[in-house]
Amino acid sequence: MKVLFVASECAPFVKTGGLADVVGAVPKALFELGVDVRIMMPAYPAVAPLLKSGTTVWHSDEFLGGKAELRSVRAEGLDLLLLDAPHLYDRPGSIYLDGAGQDWHDNHLRFGALCRAGAEVCLNGIGDWKPDIAHAHDWQAGLIPVYLKQANAAAPKSVITIHNIAFQGLFDSSVRQILGIDDNMFTHERVEYWGKVGFLKSGIALADKVTTVSPTYANELLDPEFGMGLEGLMDHRRSDLAGILNGIDVDTWNPATDKALKRNYTSRSLKRKAENRKQLEDRFGLSSKPGCPLFCVVSRLTTQKGLDVLLEVLPDLVEQGAQLALLGTGDPAIEDGFRRANEQFAGSVGTIIGYDEELSHLMQGGSDAILVPSRFEPCGLTQLYGLRYGTLPVVARTGGLADTVIDATPENVKSGKATGFQFAPVSKQELVKVIARVCDLYQQEDVWLSMQRAAMRYPVDWGSSAQAYKQLYEQMMDDQSINDGNLK
Ligand code: ADP
């Protein structure tokens, strides 16, 4: 079975968040199950060095304003199709934002081109490789199902995965001419969203199947509180919607072999975490307080992630004798808040504003607990890394966080099932309470150790979820009732 992934980022090449981790990891797990996945993504400057090693499998002299070619490259165990279109992607800085922090003015072209090229491969193949399934990820790939439905030729079936419904890719209705979206597509059942072209909306409306990254988030998406205006459409697609939980790459994230750690460890040698903690204390300017829990946060600094609430409870956290190491970038106001906290609570709160993959590993290896107080969280990955590293997750009871962390209730602690802490709702009061619970349990060394071991035993690999994707693809290929070339 051949599957084309289309996405705007892919680890380890280009990453701004969890989407990249997933796009980089699932194909490897699917390969083990006999599924041949190729990943199409833009050739941003970060991947330009790879272009030399590839072969050109398609080209155009005029592709939405400039020359473009598709280079087939094998790197880091992945088969990539890099869309090299310098007029769209060869620019410095963020892959989504310009120097002023605004969306690139031509994002509709940049990601519309990605979808056009993806559809081209789906419809005509490259050499003797033609996908059976097109798998679009997030809004940047949302027009793939549109182009496939518009085509007169037989097209592969398509699935879109929603990694975060908050990012929808909305553009002025005039872009549909340049993007080649047929007029009959511009209806509210298909591409139109309140007078605009909605990339994610289009994908959800027109893909044969829709998935999201956890069962709880799949349910939440039907609710106006989480559906971000698309809850009605989600409800309409309910019978085609599945929540397939994300996993993590357990080779990259392995405390026994992770080169970013000062000292490697397993569930039998958890005392060695102390050496990583020491390293972390030095990096973050924290004083040594061995008897007190060290919390960490590795995150985008946004209100989605609830980090404005964390700022409010820092005095309580410090008062309880706990410490915090935070790494992140995001909203300027939240960044400033944490910079100030670094001064105000020197020695107890250490913050580094920036993006640092290697340091994020050390944080999992050296902290006692990882805080994820998100207001909504489609799946979340840092709590999964926490489980794998015996760094107990402290999470809001929402989305994938609710699905992956077993709360330390008295019953769960007694039965040895507990792997972390859940709280709800995301409020100052509840966050203070859960931090107190963590501090309390941390003093019970035996209980803490058995929770760490339960966390490290918890399956976080891609095994069963890759199987679920494969089954979905098989089901789509068998189902003659879908994608018969007609619009739904
Ligand atoms: P989201 O995709 O919403 O940002 P996830 O938890 O799904 O959240 O994934 C975030 C990913 O990005 C994780 O792999 C996390 O370790 C990483 N990450 C987030 N911020 C940083 C940072 N400042 N430095 C390094 N890695 C980060």
Could you tell me the distance, in angstroms and rounded to a whole number, from the CA of residue 18 to the centre of ligand 1? Answer: 6
CB contact at 8 A, 70 and 59: yes
Q: Hey, what are 293's tokens?
A: 């829990």
Could you tell me the distance, in angstroms and rounded to a whole number, from the CA of residue 329 to the centre of ligand 1? Answer: 10
The residue whose C-alpha atom lies closest to atom 17 belonging to ligand 1 is 17
**For 270, left (φ over 0), alpha (ψ -120 to 50), or beta?**
alpha
pLDDT recorded at residue 480: 72
Q: Which residue ranges of the chain lie beneath pLDDT 50?
A: 483-488
Q: Hey, what are 54's tokens?
A: 């590839």
Residue 233 — φ and ψ, nearest 5°?
-65, -40
| Strand order across the beta sheet in which 392-396 lies | 349-353, 323-330, 294-301, 369-372, 392-396, 421-423
Could you tell me the distance, in angstroms and rounded to a whole number, from the CA of residue 169 to the centre of ligand 1? Answer: 21
The residue whose C-alpha atom lies closest to atom 18 belonging to ligand 1 is 299
Interacting residues of 172 by C-beta distance below 8 A, sequence separation 6+: 196, 197
pTM: 0.95
The residue whose C-alpha atom lies closest to atom 22 belonging to ligand 1 is 355
Residue 303 — φ and ψ, nearest 5°?
-70, -30
pLDDT recorded at residue 152: 74
pLDDT digits (tens, 9 = 90+) for 148-187: 999 977 899 999 999 999 999 999 999 999 999 999 999 9
Show the ligand 1 pocket: residues with CB < 6 angstroms: 17-19, 21, 164, 298-300, 327-329, 355-357, 360, 379-382
pLDDT recorded at residue 482: 56
CB contact at 8 A, 384 and 404: yes
Torsion over CA: 88, 90, 96, 101 (sign): negative
pLDDT recorded at residue 153: 74
